Structure 1
Amino acid sequence: MPQKKEQTYSIGDLAKEFDITPRSIRFYEEQDLLSPERTGQTRIYCNKDRVRLKLILRGKRLGFSLAEIKNLFELYDSNANSMLQLEAMLQMTEQKRAILRQQLDDIQMLMNELDEVEKRCRDELAELQKRGS
């Protein structure tokens, strides 16, 4: 029975699919996050590369650094049991949540301060207008 040939992608295919530049994909390759086959100067990406690119972009959206994403990939590659990777991901997720909660608290505090400043300015402006009329 003939073996089914795995689907491959060019850098342009992936750039278009994920709405990113080929330069971004080459950068991820330079960071050892992707490792396409090469035929001369042409990069040939397999489905594993496509999935990794999708995971890189999702990780970035969630606020993970490329180093953190690379660490997760290395855990996955070096261990068939995904337990270590899942535990690392849970720990990283908890850290991101803590950072976001702190940022949310900081933003709320700044919003409250802006509300106070705005109220004082409006009150003073109303007082000045009252005196002027």
Structure 2
Amino acid sequence: MAERLSFKDMCARFEVTPRTLRYYEYIELLSPQKEGRARFYGPREIARMTLILRGRRFGFSLEELRQWLLIYDQMGTEEQNRVWVELADRQLDVLTRQRDDLDVTIADLRALRDQVADSLKR
């Protein structure tokens, strides 16, 4: 039988708060099975949560992830993969610019720290 996680188990597995899990459901990123007031997450939802959290780590917005997940339902894997490559290329550019900006900031801070430290030695 396919794995099914309760709401509590889903929070624990992915280390998210109940509020986060409810919000992902509210914005239609996840669609658990409901039995009365209980929610259960099957293989599809577990896989989607893995993709959502990975996407967040890479810096994608929830709306970008929602749209990307919809592509699979509407147009299939090949189109979803094509769009993924476009999104990844764009995000790689963003992250590279951020890293370059951080490198400059770190160098500036290091130089100023060294300058002040040298003045204290005099």
* TM-score after normalising by structure 1: 0.83
Task: Report whether the alignment pairs 1:123 with 2:118.
Answer: yes
Distance of 2:116 and 2:30 partners within structure 1: 55
Query: Could you say which residue in structure 1 is the equivalent of 2:75?
Result: 79
- Cα RMSD after superposing both structures: 1.5
Q: What SS does the corresponding residue of 1:32 show, helix, strand or coil?
A: coil
Note the residue ranges of structure 1 that are not aligned, 5 or more in a row: 128-133
**TM-score in terms of structure 2 length:** 0.89
1:19-51 Cα shifts (integer Å, max 9, x gaps): 222221111000100111211211122211111
* CA distance in 2: counterparts of 1:45 and 1:119, whole angstroms: 54
How do 1:1-133 and structure 2 match up within 5 A? 5-80=1-76, 82-127=77-122
Q: Deviations over 1:95-116 (max 9, x none)?
A: 1111111111111111221222
Instruction: Give the whole-Å Cα distance in 1 for the aligned partners of 2:7 and 2:36.
Output: 14
Q: Distance in 2 between matches of 1:42 and 1:36?
A: 9
- For 1:63, what is the secondary structure of its paired residue? coil
| Partner amino acid, structure 2, of 1:109 | V
The number of equivalent residue pairs is 122
Runs of 4+ residues deviating >3 angstroms: none
The percent identity for this pair of structures is 31
1:74-132 CA-partner distances (Å, limit 9, x unpaired): 0001113x2211111111111111111111111111122122212322333333xxxxx
* Secondary structure of residue in 1 paired with 2:5: coil
> Counterpart of 1:131?
none
Structure 2, unpaired ranges of 5+: none
